[in-house]
Amino acid sequence: MATMAERGPEVLIGCGALRGSSRDGVAAFLGVPYARPPVGALRFRAPEAVEPWDGVREATAFGPTAPKRPYAPPLDALLPDPEIPGDDCLNLNVWAPWGAGPRSATERGGRPVMVWIHGGSLIRGSSAVPVYDGTAFARDGVVLVSVNYRLGIEGFGVFPDAPANLGLRDQIAALTWVRDNIAAFGGDPERVTVFGESAGAISIAALLASPLAKGLFRRAVVQSGAPLAQPPATARRTTQAVAARLKVPATAEAFARVDREELLAAQTAVTGKGSPLTGGHSFQIAVDGEVVPRDPAEALADGASAEVDLLMGTTTEEYRLWFVPGGTADRVGPVLQRLLLWKTKVPSRTARVYRAGRRREKPGEVLGALATDKLLRVPLNDLADARLRAGGGAGTYLYEFGWRSPVLGLGACHALELGFVFDTLDLPESRALTGPDAPRELAAAMHAAWVSFAGTGDPGWRSWDPARPVMTFGPGLPSLVEAPREAERRAWEGGGRGRESRRRAAR
C-alpha cells in the first residue's frame, strides 16, 4: 500500500503504517524501528521483533543512535558523527524514488535495493551521518536503506552469559526486515546489495561467511575493510579490560547494572590508545560458532558466498587519516620505522621493496604504505584470487580510490571516497575531508558504478582475471589499471602479512 498525502507519503509495512517526507521525486522514511529497543531485559540480548503499532507512525526524523562517544581531536573535525539520544537505536532509514509510486514499481518487479552499514571501529558512527544521505541513490532508481546497530561493549562485548556479535545480529535483523518489507517502498527483495566501509566492510565480510545471513542479499560492496575475526578468548580481552576498569565481573549480568555513561567512559579509556598498526584494545567480531562459525577470511577463501557478486577496494593512501593529522607520519624516523616493522612482523625483504620504490617518501609514509597493503589491499587481492580459483559464477571486481584531498595533507586517505560514492560532495560534512573543490565528475562516475553494480552485478569494468584489473578513481579520470604496484604486492607472497595484524584494522 502506498499513497501520496499532503502530509507526506505513506506506506503500510508488517508492523503498521509509516508517514515520511518527500522532495523532488524522492521519499524518505527515517528512524523506522526494525527491532525492539535493547534496554532493560533486552540489553545484551539478541534483537527481538518490533511490536506492531496502531495508527500512522511519523518517520520524518532520524532515530536515536547507538550509545557512543565522539571521535577524539583532530578526527572529530574530519568525521562528523551525530549523536541522537534515546533507547530505540535499532532503527533504519529508507530513501525511495517516488514519482510513479512504489506500487507500479513493485508490479514491474521492483527496484534494486542497497543497504548501507556504517563504519567507526565498531564503537562510533551511525546512519544519521549527513554524508550517507540516500537521496542521490533514490534519484538514480535505487531504494537505499541505512542501518543503525549496537556498538562497543553492547554490540561486540564477549560474555559467558550472553550471545556474541550482537551488532552483527542487529545487522542480520535489519536485512531480514528489508526482505520482509522493502517491496512496500518499491524495492525488490531479490536484488539486495549490502555495502559498507571500514568496520562496516569488515561486518559485511562476516555476513558473507555467516549461515544466518545466507540469502538475505545478492551482492556486496566491501570498502576499505578486510575479512577478519578473532577467537572468542582473544576478542574477550577488551571486555575483560573494561570490566577491570569498572571493577565488576566480566559478565553481561554485571554490565547490565552499570550506568551507560560510566560504561562509555570506561570503554573509551580502554580503547583510546589502540591503533590499526600497533594494536591495543579494540572491539572485534568474534568467531562464535553460530553467527560466525569460522574465520571469515578462511571461509571466503574456501568458497563461502561464491554465488554473491562482490565489489571491493581501498583508497590509495588509507593510512594518512591515522598518520597525518596527529603528526605520526612526521615523527617516525628510520629507527622507529624498523622497530614498528619488527613489532608487526613485516619481513625485512618486504620492507626493502617498499623503501626501494619510495625513496622520496618519509619513513613514516613508507610505513603507512606497508600498513595499508598489509591490512587492506593485499588481503582483498588474496580474496579476489581465491574467488577466481574457486569459480562459482559470481562476479568479482576491484577498485582503488586515488584522488588526493588537499585538506591537511590527507591525500587519498581512509573514508575519503564516501562523499563520492553517495554523491554528497556539496555537503559541508563531506567538504571537511575533501575541501571545496573535489571533482564532481569523479563523484558522478563512482556513484554511477555503485548504482550499476546494484542493478546488474556489473559496475562497468572487467571482472577479476589473472591480469589483475583494478578500476582507479583518480587522480584524473577513472581508468582501468592492470596489477597496480605489483612489485609491492608480490613482496608479501609466501607469508608475512598474518591475519593477526589485519585484525587491528577497523576504524
Per-residue pLDDT of 445-482, as tens digits, reads 999 999 999 999 999 999 999 999 999 999 999 999 99
501 has a pLDDT exceeding 60: no
Whether 81 has a pLDDT exceeding 70, the answer reads yes
Tell me the mean pLDDT in the region 13-36. Answer: 97
Place of cell 528512524: 31
Cβ pair 486, 471 in contact under 8 A: no
What pLDDT score was predicted for residue 497? 46
Write the burial class of residue 466 (CB in 10 Å: 0-12 exposed, 13-18 middle, 19+ buried). Answer: exposed
The stretches of 435-503 forming alpha helices (DSSP H) are 440-456, 486-490, 499-502
Residue 507 has pLDDT above 50, yes or no: no
Q: What separation in angstroms does the CA of 90 have from each of 1, 41, 292? A: 24, 15, 21
Query: Could you read off the pLDDT of 245-285 as tens digits, one per residue?
Result: 999 999 999 999 999 999 999 999 999 876 655 668 999 99
Residue 77 to residue 74: CA distance in whole angstroms: 6
The confidence score (pLDDT) of residue 275 equals 62
Percent above pLDDT 90 for the chain? 91
The active-site residue, picked from 10, 154, 197, 318, is 318
Domains in the chain: how many in total?
1
Known catalytic membership, residue 414: yes
| pLDDT at position 392 | 80
The dihedral over CA atoms of 49, 50, 52, 53, expressed in degrees to the nearest 10, equals 170
pLDDT category, 4, cuts 50, 70, 90? very low
In this predicted structure, what is the pLDDT of residue 101?
Answer: 52
Q: What does the alpha-carbon distance between residue 236 and residue 223 come to, in Å, rounded to a whole number?
A: 26
pLDDT, averaged across the chain = 93
C-alpha cell at 435: 575541501
Closest CA to 201 of 279, 268, 272, 125: 125
Residue 48 bears catalytic tag = no
- Tell me the pLDDT band of 99, cut-offs 50, 70 and 90: confident
* Average pLDDT estimate for 199-228: 98
* HSE-up of residue 125 (Cα within 13 Å, Cβ side): 28
Interval 29-60: pLDDT, tens: 999 999 999 999 999 999 999 999 999 999 99
Residue 415, Ramachandran bin (φ over 0: left; ψ between -120 and 50: alpha; else beta):
left
Residue 507 included in any domain:
no
Residue 86 lies in a domain: yes
CB atoms within 10 A of CB 461: 16
Specify the amino acid at residue 429. Answer: E
CA distance 335 to 363: 9
Residue 243 has pLDDT above 70, yes or no: yes
- Distance, in Å, from the CA atom of 219 to the CA atom of 395, rounded to the nearest integer, reads 9
| CATH number of the domain bearing residue 338 | 3.40.50.1820
Active site residue 118: no
Kindly report the three-state secondary structure assignment for every residue of 116-137: EECCCCCCCCCCCCHHHCCHHH
Mean pLDDT of the region 231-257:
96
Which of 118, 281, 414, 447 is labelled catalytic? 414
CA gap 325, 440 in Å, rounded: 25
Contact indicator for 88, 340 with CB cutoff of 8 Å: no
H/E segment holding residue 300:
helix 296-301
* Pair 156, 270: CB distance under 8 Å: no
> pLDDT value at position 211?
97
Residue 97 lies in domain: 2-502
Please indicate, yes or no, whether the overall pTM of this predicted structure exceeds 0.85.
yes
Please identify which of the residues 127, 146, 198, 501 carries the catalytic annotation. 198
CA nearest 75: which of 354, 389, 414? Answer: 414
Give the pLDDT confidence of 334-377 residue by residue, as tens digits: 999 999 999 989 999 999 999 999 999 999 999 999 999 999 99
Q: Which residues pair with 480 in a beta bridge?
A: 471
What is residue 103's predicted lDDT score, i.e. its pLDDT? 47
DSSP state of 492: T
Q: What is the pLDDT of residues 403-441, one digit of tens each?
A: 999 999 999 999 999 999 999 999 999 999 999 999 999
Separation of alpha carbons 28 and 394, rounded Å: 32
